[in-house]
């Protein structure tokens, strides 16, 4: 899943199936799926729009839900913050403990003045600021059954096993959804019990699949020939998918049938049921996937603890997860026996946990003893990144319980980053190194030691992007103490300003920050979380235009770069800069409930693949103008219509009025077209609202009646391309003109595009789209949700620990792929860099030739001295030497020219060519005896000028 594209498709309708009512005895969630988009067009839509594209119609149930979050240390804070930002109606915080200094290393809701205060009450004040639409309350008493009965969902974090069992029994009996989320050191566990009859209304992400019908045979079984809704693409159905048909002409018996299963023959053919008695197929039609609700059953915690169903990304992880299951149980037993958690890096305590795990986990099979020991040795630690990952995943399970969207966890999940302990520096840490210091970082020191914490403070990092992922990264950095020491610095750059739609998933911003620069607001929020952090805010793009500011010297001084960008082009540029300067890069991305983290560590890992070209949503003009088949086609047509009517003419008129010479800057053909457009706009401009109405009515008649009538005049419904071959068949749907109805009209922007698209869809018999779906498709909006961004940022920060250790062991690094829709997390070792042979030896793609280009006279080298250096150092005879497109030396020139070339200094003529002064030059060379394959297998030559 290491894809870099963004753009998950949104919600679609459901077919007939199971009852949408709740199962008896269940309280609240998992209820019926609600068609259409929640809160569309309301004042809430602007805030939650990107989340709505992830959660669909079930999101409207969030506002009426009540959730209890017990335990307000790092994991509980992450759960609660995600639920408040997502718009959960009532979130109650429970904690009977008081905040201590060490809590501030992973509990981002606490300020310095909150130390000594009840954690729930202190957190309530901070959470209430995040979303005024959510009621946030604190509870500091016992978890009585009467109190628990008022919630739909109960989440326990930092809870003793006895409490988990008691609350779990009660919730299971009362139909309350129950979740346990716990983190200890470098590991975490997650458990879900959604009762004996939980209905998942829509288990999958994205829209149901569709395909255009080209032919359907009469037979048993019948065979449907079809193609994907994108031109020249295959269908995307799978064996067993349920489908319905619409718009079929001829074999009309299929239209409106109950969902039927399909068998996939190939990329263009599907088998369906018996069609032998149906009318012959003539033309047209759409085959659409139908998703039916699913019923799932869960065991209570008491039973699931003994007979665990553990979800893993692949079978190889099962032994590790079973060992962690036993280790967490043993940890509860150790704490009950000793009255405290195992002391950090204390071998005797770790061995005792192993003994307890062996006694508890015999029936589950063998244990990985090294995993249990490693887990126990740092279990007293608290790490913000681990809390972010587990807390975000737990919050997504809460959202599943309430909305009925996506498959809940079945039933246990274990996560760990214990590979961090295999680092050379981490392996030498002692019990003394990890002893508490009375510091806010004691939880992190318990895992990595005090010297590592000091090293974290010295880090110099660039964070590019302060949006959703950027906010979560910066929050984690503040908790970790990144750049909080002498010489450390974080540079944040983002050109954007805070918008309303940012607030539901970008933790550092509030409504008062709208229209302010994101980077400046984010930097100020970081300082409030940790006043020691040294952070600098920029509002610049990182690109070719800013290379004077973010040049090679800048990148080479950095310890690393964290990318939180949302365009493929910007990410590709940043990757190329880090590759050139050999700067470590963490690249993170999300798409709805999916996310990934890619790590690039010179010279250990393979460089990140160049980002592909993003699909721009365009279609062939003939499809848009005459032969649309899907709502995507009509929406693109409507978007073009809007831009052609209201955007481009206005822009051209304004530019012409301000500067008539701008036409001279356009190509000749384009200039004439724009001038005619300006003339038309000025001549036909309306003088009052009556003119606007008359214009709109004429436009409607032209587009939705006259143009269609003309098309049908040219190609009547019965028209044949050749005898027996109908013109309106396959991917061509026969349209019909519309009759104007004044009771059917919308206005402005998305309303215009939605109305225009749906009218066009009616012309061609295409199912229309609602306002919110139209906005997503036409606006090419990326679905996004706070849970995914928080989890991805946590995974990225775990890799930063390894970079701070200056780890040179590839096996310790991880690329991560996350899917919260089905609660799967895959972490794999990055690939090593490719190698190649040149000049008689093996080179890595990270290798380069570096030379201090200082001549014998103390000045910068001449070309001859460079040629001599290559001959002396590598034994290569250079035949051609270039700097960019400038030829510095060519052996094929005459002797006089070669002599002049050899005498030149490297940077001569740079200023004449209009290039700025440079201290580092990259030269291109060709050597004698090279074969044809050497063209792309040559280490670059970097010359450092005096």
SS3 label, residue 537 = strand
Q: Which of 626, 648, 627, 652 is nearest to 639 (CA)?
A: 648
Q: At 658, list the tokens.
A: 């301000």
Q: Which of 81, 31, 80 is nearest to 57 (CA)?
A: 31
Q: At 694, list the tokens.
A: 């008359």
157's CB contacts (< 8 A; 6+ apart) are 69, 70, 71, 73, 75, 76, 79, 180, 181, 182, 183, 391, 394
User: How many CB atoms are closer than 10 A to CB 262?
Assistant: 23
Element (H, E) at 556: helix 552-557
Q: Answer for the pair 32, 43: CB distance below 8 angstroms, yes or no.
A: no
Tally of CA atoms within 13 A in the half-sphere of 392 that contains its CB: 31
Q: Answer for the pair 327, 375: CB distance below 8 angstroms, yes or no.
A: yes
268's CB contacts (< 8 A; 6+ apart) are 225, 226, 227, 234, 235
Q: Answer for the pair 563, 511: CB distance below 8 angstroms, yes or no.
A: no
Identify any residues that bridge with 136 across adjacent strands, giving them in sequence order: 91
Counting Cβ atoms within 10 Å, is residue 496 exposed (0-12), middle (13-18) or buried (19+)? Answer: middle
- For helices 369-377 and 347-360, give the axis angle rounded to 10 degrees: 130
Give, rounded to a whole angstrom, the gap between the first and last alpha carbons of the chain. 46
SS (H, E, C) 436-497: CCCCCCHHHHHHHCHHHHHHHHCCEEEEECCCHHHHHHHHHHHHHCCCCCCCCEEEEECCCE
Q: Answer for the pair 590, 472: CB distance below 8 angstroms, yes or no.
A: no
User: How many CB atoms are closer than 10 A to CB 931?
Assistant: 7
Q: At 814, list the tokens.
A: 């991880």
Q: Answer for the pair 1, 594: CB distance below 8 angstroms, yes or no.
A: yes
Q: Which of 782, 754, 756, 780 is nearest to 769 (CA)?
A: 754
Compute, in degrees rounded to 10, the torsion defined by CA atoms 180, 184, 186, 190. -10
- For helices 786-804 and 384-403, give the axis angle rounded to 10 degrees: 160
Counting Cβ atoms within 10 Å, is residue 298 exposed (0-12), middle (13-18) or buried (19+)? Answer: buried
552 vs 548: CA distance, rounded Å:
9
What are the start-end ranges of the E strands in 829-885? 835-838, 841-844, 849-852, 878-883
> With the C-alpha atoms ordered 758, 762, 763, 764, is the resulting torsion angle positive or negative?
positive
241's CB contacts (< 8 A; 6+ apart) are 209, 261, 262, 289
Q: Answer for the pair 53, 42: CB distance below 8 angstroms, yes or no.
A: no
Phi, psi dihedrals of residue 497, rounded to the nearest 5°: -115, 160
Catalytic residue among 171, 622, 692, 812: 622
Look up 420 and say whether it is catalytic: no
Give residue 799's region: left, alpha or beta (phi > 0; psi -120 to 50).
alpha
76 vs 387: CA distance, rounded Å:
8
Active site residues: 622
């Amino acid at each position: 899943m290491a894809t870099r594209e963004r753009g998950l498709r949104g919600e679609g309708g459901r077919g007939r199936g199971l009852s949408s009512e709740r199962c008896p005895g269940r309280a609240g969630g998992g209820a019926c799926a609600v068609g259409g988009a929640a809160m569309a067009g309301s004042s809430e839509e602007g805030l939650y729009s990107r989340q709505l594209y992830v959660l669909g119609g079930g999101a409207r149930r969030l506002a009426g839900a009540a959730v209890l979050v017990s335990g307000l240390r790092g994991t509980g804070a992450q759960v609660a913050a995600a639920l408040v930002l997502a718009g959960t109606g009532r979130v109650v915080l429970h904690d009977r403990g008081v905040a201590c200094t060490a809590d501030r290393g992973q509990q981002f809701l606490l300020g310095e003045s909150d130390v000594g205060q009840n954690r729930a009450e202190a957190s309530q004040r901070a959470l209430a600021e995040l979303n005024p639409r959510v009621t946030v309350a604190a509870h500091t008493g016992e978890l009585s059954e009467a109190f628990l009965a008022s919630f739909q969902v109960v989440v326990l974090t930092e809870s003793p096993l006895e409490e988990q069992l008691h609350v779990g029994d009660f919730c299971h009996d009362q139909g309350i959804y129950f979740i346990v989320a716990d983190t200890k050191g470098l590991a975490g566990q997650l458990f879900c019990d959604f009762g004996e009859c939980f209905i998942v209304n829509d288990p999958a992400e994205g829209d149901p699949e569709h395909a255009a019908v080209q032919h359907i045979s009469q037979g048993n079984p019948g065979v449907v020939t079809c193609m994907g809704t994108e031109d020249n693409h295959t269908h995307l159905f799978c064996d067993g998918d349920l489908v319905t048909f619409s718009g079929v002409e001829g074999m009309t018996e299929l239209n409106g049938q109950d969902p039927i299963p399909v068998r996939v023959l190939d990329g263009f053919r599907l088998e369906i049921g018996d069609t032998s008695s149906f009318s012959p197929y003539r033309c047209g039609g759409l085959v659409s996937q139908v998703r039916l609700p699913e019923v799932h059953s869960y065991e209570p915690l008491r039973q699931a603890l003994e007979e665990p169903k553990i979800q893993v990304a692949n079978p190889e992880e099962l032994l590790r997860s079973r060992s962690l299951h036993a280790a967490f149980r043993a940890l509860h037993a150790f704490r009950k026996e000793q009255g405290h958690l195992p002391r950090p890096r204390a071998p005797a305590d770790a061995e005792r946990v192993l003994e307890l795990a062996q006694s508890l986990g015999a029936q589950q099979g063998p244990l990985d003893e090294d995993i249990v020991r490693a887990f126990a040795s740092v279990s007293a630690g608290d790490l913000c990144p681990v809390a972010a990952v587990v807390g975000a995943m737990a919050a997504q399970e809460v959202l599943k319980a309430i909305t009925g969207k996506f498959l809940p966890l079945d039933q246990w999940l274990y996560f760990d980053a214990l590979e961090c302990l295999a680092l050379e520096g981490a392996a030498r840490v002692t019990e003394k190194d990890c002893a508490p210091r009375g510091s806010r970082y004691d939880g992190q020191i318990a895992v990595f030691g005090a010297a590592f914490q000091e090293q974290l403070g010295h880090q110099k990092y660039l964070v590019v992007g302060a949006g959703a992922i950027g906010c979560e990264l910066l929050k984690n950095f503040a908790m970790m103490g990144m750049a909080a020491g002498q010489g450390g610095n974080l540079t944040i750059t983002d050109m954007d300003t805070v918008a309303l739609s940012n607030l539901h998933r970008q933790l550092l911003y509030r409504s008062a920050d709208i229209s302010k620069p994101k980077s400046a607001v984010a930097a100020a929020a970081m300082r409030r979380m940790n006043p020691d952090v040294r952070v600098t805010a920029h509002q610049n793009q990182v690109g070719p235009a800013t290379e004077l500011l973010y040049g090679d010297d800048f990148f080479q001084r950095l310890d690393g770069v964290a990318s939180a960008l949302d365009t493929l082009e910007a990410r590709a540029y940043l990757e190329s800069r880090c590759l050139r300067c050999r700067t470590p890069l963490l690249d993170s991305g999300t798409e709805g409930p999916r996310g990934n983290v890619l790590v690039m560590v010179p010279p250990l890992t393979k460089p990140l693949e160049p980002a592909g070209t993003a699909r721009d949503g365009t279609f062939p003009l003939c499809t848009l103008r005459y032969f649309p088949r899907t709502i995507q086609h009509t929406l693109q047509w409507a978007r073009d219509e809007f831009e052609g009517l209201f955007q481009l003419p206005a822009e051209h008129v304004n530019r012409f009025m301000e500067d008539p010479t701008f036409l001279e800057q356009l190509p000749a053909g384009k200039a004439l077209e724009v001038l005619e457009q300006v003339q038309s706009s000025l001549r036909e401009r309306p003088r009052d609202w009556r003119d606007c109405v008359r214009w709109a009515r004429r436009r409607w008649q032209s587009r939705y009646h006259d143009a269609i009538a003309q098309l049908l005049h040219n190609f009547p419904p019965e028209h044949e391309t050749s005898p027996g071959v109908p013109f309106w068949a396959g991917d061509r749907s026969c349209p019909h003109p519309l009759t104007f109805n004044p009771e059917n009209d919308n206005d402005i922007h998305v309303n215009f595009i939605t109305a225009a698209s749906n009218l066009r869809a009616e012309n061609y018999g295409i199912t229309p789209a609602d306002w919110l779906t139209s906005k997503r498709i036409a606006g090419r909006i990326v679905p996004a949700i706070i849970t995914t961004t928080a989890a991805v940022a946590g995974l990225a920060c775990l890799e930063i620990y390894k970079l701070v250790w200056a780890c040179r062991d590839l096996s310790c690094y991880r690329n991560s792929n996350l899917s919260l829709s089905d609660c799967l997390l895959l972490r794999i070792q990055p690939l090593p860099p490719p190698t190649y042979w040149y000049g008689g030896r093996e080179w890595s793609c990270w290798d380069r030739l570096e030379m201090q280009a200082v001549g014998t006279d103390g000045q910068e080298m001449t070309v001859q001295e460079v040629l001599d250096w290559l001959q002396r150092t590598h034994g290569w005879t250079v035949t051609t030497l270039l700097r960019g497109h400038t030829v510095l030396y060519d052996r094929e020139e005459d002797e006089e020219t070669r002599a002049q070339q050899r005498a030149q200094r490297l940077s001569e003529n740079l200023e004449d060519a209009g290039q700025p002064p440079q201290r580092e030059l990259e030269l291109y060379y060709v050597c004698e005896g090279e074969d044809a394959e050497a063209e792309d297998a040559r280490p670059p030559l970097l010359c450092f000028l005096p």
